[in-house]
Amino acid sequence: MIYITFFCSTTLLTLLFFSIIYGKKGIKKQESTLSKDKENRPSLRKRIFYPILKKYKRHFRKNLSGEKHDKLEMKILQAGSPFDMTPVDFRLVQMILIILFPILFAIYGILLGLSVPMIFLIVTFSMIFASFLPNLYLSQKSKERSKRALKELSDIVDLLTVSLEAGLGFDLALNKLISKNNGVIASEFHQCLEEIRLGKPRRDALKKITERLLLDEMNILISSILQAEKLGISMVKILRIQSHEIRKKRKQRAEEQAMKAPIKMLFPLIFFIFPSLFIVLLGPAIIQFINTFQK
């Protein structure tokens, strides 16, 4: 009887031990399966927002005609393609702002306790402002990009001239330029070379740079390069002349800005500096003069 009891208890303990071990393994396996399902399951953003965005993107893609699409794409390229934005993305952002701004300003007006006509007026102006805001942003980015390109231009031309003098061909000189610089003009020449590799004629690829960069100096430089290539003139000589002209124009712009400085300083001088100066200098004398007459 004792042996039977010992055998039964040993068997039960063994079964209990293995059930615990395999039970833990089963739980871990189930947890890993659940975690994998959780990882594979798309997030709320992907399940809800992405389909809505895709739907509206399809809608804007249909409504954007070829001419409108090309014009907007050129504006975005002139601004340097901020956030890798496409024309469809731009229209989508514009629509979101037109919806979002009036709601925010209406809530702000209600919290301030403004009247209904005033809230309506604020909401109307916010809608107009929201529709123009993306275009203003692109214009500002385009101007900043043009300014950066103008600062880089003279050094870029010098480096290109040195590379050509060293015996490199024009395409190899551009490759050398791209490897040494990472500015606006270098990125434009990089895109130009990519277009040439894809089969676009060099003339058209270079002309596209002048469309993406709104600079008279760049336009003159590209025209001179194309003219030298067409007529067989030494490109080094042309680039040296262009470098001299670019530096000369930069010096003239600096002199012009220096001449404008006194006129710009006139307004703060009259309305802010002179009044405070007169108060400090004449204030005590006027106070003493008033006290003398009161006595």
Quickly list DSSP for 153-188: HHHHHHHHHHHHHTT--HHHHHHHHHHH--SHHHHH
Q: What pLDDT score was predicted for residue 207?
A: 92
pLDDT above 90: residue 144: yes
Q: What pLDDT score was predicted for residue 261?
A: 83
Q: What is the percent of the chain with per-residue pLDDT over 70, rounded to a whole number?
A: 78
Q: What pLDDT band is residue 138 in, cutting at 50, 70 and 90?
A: very high
Residue of higher predicted confidence among 12 and 45: 45
* Token pair of 230 as six digits: 């067409």
- CA distances 55 to 67, 167, 278, Å, are 22, 55, 66
Q: What pLDDT score was predicted for residue 4?
A: 44
Q: What pLDDT score was predicted for residue 143?
A: 93
- Reported as a single tens digit per residue, the pLDDT across 67-88 is 788 888 899 999 988 888 888 8
- Reported as a single tens digit per residue, the pLDDT across 257-268 is 888 888 888 888
Mean pLDDT along residues 110-125: 89
Mean pLDDT along residues 46-72: 68
Q: What pLDDT score was predicted for residue 57?
A: 64
User: What value does the mean pLDDT of the chain take?
Assistant: 79
**pTM, rounded to two decimals:** 0.69
pLDDT above 90: residue 9: no
- Reported as a single tens digit per residue, the pLDDT across 225-260 is 898 888 888 888 888 888 888 888 888 888 888 888
Q: What pLDDT score was predicted for residue 142?
A: 93
Q: Is the dihedral of CA 216, 244, 260, 185 positive or negative?
A: positive
- Reported as a single tens digit per residue, the pLDDT across 160-211 is 988 888 888 888 888 888 888 888 999 999 999 999 999 899 899 999 999 9
Distance CA 265, CA 269 (A): 6
Mean pLDDT along residues 277-291: 81
Distance CA 179, CA 101 (A): 44
Residues 6+ apart with CB under 8 A from 188: 149, 209, 212, 213
Q: What pLDDT score was predicted for residue 205?
A: 92
Residues 6+ apart with CB under 8 A from 240: 161
Highest mean pLDDT among 8-22, 82-96, 200-214, 258-272 belongs to 200-214
